[in-house]
Structures are given as C-alpha cells and as structure tokens.
Amino acid sequence: MRQETPYPHPQSETLLNSAFKGNRLERDVYLLRHCPPEYRLCWVIENNQEIIAMIRYWEVKIDTPLCAGQNYRWLLLGPLAVAPQHTHQGYGKQLIQHTLTLAKTLPKTLPKTLLGETAFDAVFVSGELSYYKKLGFTPVSIKSPRNSASNHWQIYPLKDNLPAMPESFSLVATD
C-alpha cells in the first residue's frame, strides 16, 4: 500500500473506469470535488506493479454552521475502487481502515495545531449502507448536490466530542 503519486495516477483512472458502471463523472459527488484532493489520504494498493485498489478524499464544507465560533473541517470519502477481479479480498476495507486511522492523526494547519486537535472532524460518504456500516459509519441526512433525496449518506466521526449534526443539510465543494 502506498500514497497515490503522481496524482492522478493514470492506472487509478483506468481502475475507476472499470470499477464504476456508466459515466462516473456524472455522479452527484463529483460536484463536490472541485478542489485538489487531500493528497495525504489518497492511497493505492499495488499487485505486480499494477494498481488494483484506490481511495481518495476531498475536503468539503457544510452549509450550516454547527456551533458559533467553531471551525469544523470535513472530508468526503471517495472514490473508492477495487479492480473487479480483486473484490471481496479485503482491499477496500484495508484502504478505508488505513486512511481513517491516518485522518485522525494528520498534522493540522494553523490554528488548531496549537491546540493539539486532529486535522479533520469527520468523514462523509455516499455509498452502500451495509458496506460502510461494518467500518463504523452511521447514516446521516444530507441533501445531495442536485437536491435529490438520498439515503446513502453516512458519517464517520474522527473525534469524540462532535456536536449533533443538523436534521438535514447540504455539502458544499471547497474551492
């Protein structure tokens, strides 16, 4: 397992095209991926010098402040892809667990570094509930970027004292 460099790695793009059916770039979540990804959390698994699994993360914002005066930082997990011939061998789980552990300890940019807090507060994902539940994610009510109702959104807190999430909110891309 190693970080994805260079980014985007051509083999990762090929893998994404083979793992996702249809035009993946038309999926709602791509509207939240304007900025460069959080490179420190973009990882791949190789087999015989070929990328067979990959994961990326993007910083996003939410449209509702949770607590006045608090600057929370959020991540969007995805895309996550495992080559069709290598699924059900634990690679997806391995990448998620590794990067979530890493996300909890990423060095933080100012000012929170001074407080010794973790860099990001929670991770959102839009995906199969039964898959992400096993990895510690819980459902959350998020309005999808095109305002389509979706019950596939989930959250994974990266710290213990996260305030309750609003009843329903939207994610917004960072520039």
* Site for ligand COA, rule CB under 6 A: 19-20, 78, 80-82, 87-93, 127-128, 130-131, 134
Whose Cβ is closer to ligand COA: residue 66's or residue 173's?
173
Q: How far apart are CB 88 and ligand COA at their closest, in Å?
A: 5
DSSP tag of 137? -
Structure tokens at 47: 């087999």
Region class of 147: left (phi > 0), else alpha (psi between -120 and 50), else beta:
left
Sign of CA dihedral 64, 68, 69, 72: negative
Whose Cβ is closer to ligand COA: residue 58's or residue 91's?
91
Region class of 27: left (phi > 0), else alpha (psi between -120 and 50), else beta:
beta
Q: How far apart are CB 33 and ligand COA at their closest, in Å?
A: 13
Q: How far apart are CB 15 and ligand COA at their closest, in Å?
A: 8
DSSP string, 93-106: HHHHHHHHHHHHHP
Amino acid at 91: Y
Show the beta-strand stretches assigned E in the chain: 2-3, 43-47, 50-62, 74-82, 122-126, 138-139, 142-143, 153-157, 169-173
Whose Cβ is closer to ligand COA: residue 72's or residue 131's?
131
Q: How far apart are CB 141 and ligand COA at their closest, in Å?
A: 18
**Is residue 41 within 8 Å of residue 9, measured between CB atoms?**
no
Whose Cβ is closer to ligand COA: residue 76's or residue 165's?
76
Residue at shortest CB range from ligand COA: 92
Q: How far apart are CB 175 and ligand COA at their closest, in Å?
A: 24
Whose Cβ is closer to ligand COA: residue 113's or residue 134's?
134
